[in-house]
Structure 1
């Protein structure tokens, strides 16, 4: 440390870090944040014990770079993308002292997650900050969140162009002012995960935006493994027109469907799918291609629109002509009367190792039906939870 002022600044920084990153998991010895919390406490004790330095350096100043690097990495939550802010890691770490700044700037993994906001404020100033942030990633895979409130995509594309091959995870939020989809997915050759969503408060994206999204997902990048389309309703005609070769690599799919739905159609489109979540208004489409055995699907989650499905459709016909020999987890919400006979026929002909069956709010079953499942699978984890009544998050 060069001065006691540096030392005091460091202590203040350490005392603030836990409020940003230590969550309830910090009490779990098996969770990564538990070790982070221990390290921060140990470091804070060292700082508090030494007072103003009397010699040329202090104990905290002699901590090896490797230890500081590990502490810095624990300051960054693995499950979030952050908007750059001076009072949050990693930028907060660069303001403590010269040595901390040099170490933080030279840890590319600190700069791999970023939220970019479009549509308000001084874009040129924010773009300069975003670019500086991204440069520090030094070629590492990037996880980005784009929150778009307008259609000024030219500047955004220009900013991202040098880093497009690095982006492996991309979350795109289309809010009330956005009426189109900003990106050409074919440009993102390294993309593995894509999530498209709205702000959750206003209406779903405008019709032009939905059309742009549907066009963009027709051909997915070759490395894509997870696709989540939230708040964007796709009908059977759109799903039938997708390029099966570019969807074949998907292992996780979450979609909002509307009208006619063919489960065999989706499973043929994604032969390597292990997890499928379907949300929307269901009416089984006529399937004329014969039975389909899908050997990879392990998790199936279905959430319907309760008022419509309760009165009219339920899940009639959705499980016909499908065999799922690896099915392990099924969760159902908001579909009204449960299609017990069709589902029982599915799991019987599939001879699957069903482990967990969850009926959430808005699903009507009978004690006799539940008893039949336990008879078929004695070790089955059967959960009835009426409190889970909202759509999947």
Structure 2
């Protein structure tokens, strides 16, 4: 059965390739008279194969949602999930409709986010907002690892925590329990500590020099 499924899927890909080639061909390699009939037969075969594949019952899609969620949790990187469509949890939402529903409705899958310089091309404010919206009210862990060049870091940081009026991340500060970052100023470090009441673990690396943000403060309230 498994080999037959593979054969059908390979044939389906081949048919789609042939149809695309016939539709875009400009060299008249295909006879004008025979081309419509050939396309009709290929489309009929495609429909037949797709119906056969749709009738296949995959056991993995019929296990309880709770078990599927636990399996998904074990797919997450141990050092924090990255905003990469090729990795969990984003990858899990691209497999099928059921998996997308399970992945997008389990807050635990979105409770940690690691953004680095290498992820910058895939990161935008909307993605970050959607990510933490899916996390709901679970404790959050955020790791900003921008080593080397700082231009990418400064592009995203205002959306995350550079100013108290930022609307992107303000709704989630109360849920932040773990934070790790590079290249913050003392003012930004102090501001984060004041705005994250549930923060348990916090690490700042390579703090940049700046004018003391609050020169009259001698202690930080806990």
TM-score interval, normalised by the smaller of the two chains: 0.5 to 0.7
Q: How large is the Cα RMSD of the aligned pairs? A: 3.4
Deviations 1:276-301 (A, max 9, x none): xxxxxxxxxxxxxxxxxxxxxxxxxx
What is the 5 A alignment of 1:33-72? 55=55, 57-72=57-72
CA offsets, 1:307-362, max 9 Å, x none? xxxxxxxxxxxxxxxxxxxxxxxxxxxxxxxxxxxxxxxxxxxxxxxxxxxxxxxx
| Deviant stretches of 4+, over 6 Å | none
Q: Deviations over 1:115-156 (max 9, x none)?
A: 2358x9569x61111111111001111000124535565332
In the alignment, what sits opposite 2:188?
A: 182
2:160 corresponding residue in structure 1 = 156
Tell me what 2:209 maps to.
207
Which residue matches 1:347?
Answer: none
Q: Which residue of structure 2 lines up, in the alignment, with residue 384 of structure 1?
A: none
2-side partners of 1:63 and 1:137: how far apart? 24
Closer/same/farther in 2, CA of residues 117 and 128 from structure 1, 3 Å limit: farther
Higher relative contact order (CA 8 A, sep 6+): 2
Q: Decide which structure has greater helix share.
A: 2
Correspondence list, 1:69-218, <5 A: 69-77=69-77, 79-117=78-116, 126-147=124-145, 149=150, 151=154, 153-157=157-161, 158=166, 159-174=168-183, 181-183=187-189, 184=191, 185-198=193-206, 205-208=207-210, 211=212
* Cα distance change on mapping 1:68 and 1:206 into 2, 3 Å: closer
Query: Any conservation in 2 of the 1:179–1:206 contact (CA below 8 Å)?
Result: yes
Q: Is the 8 A contact 1:164 1:188 kept in 2?
A: yes
2:81–2:89 CA contact under 8 A, matched in 1: no
> In 2 relative to 1, CA 117–189 (structure 1 residues): closer, same or farther, beyond 3 Å?
same
Point out the structure with the larger strand share: 1
Equivalent pair of 1:94/1:102 in contact (CA under 8 Å): yes
How many aligned positions are there? 161
Q: Contact 1:179/1:208 (CA < 8 Å) preserved in 2?
A: yes
Unaligned runs of 5+ in 1: 9-51, 199-204, 220-240, 247-393
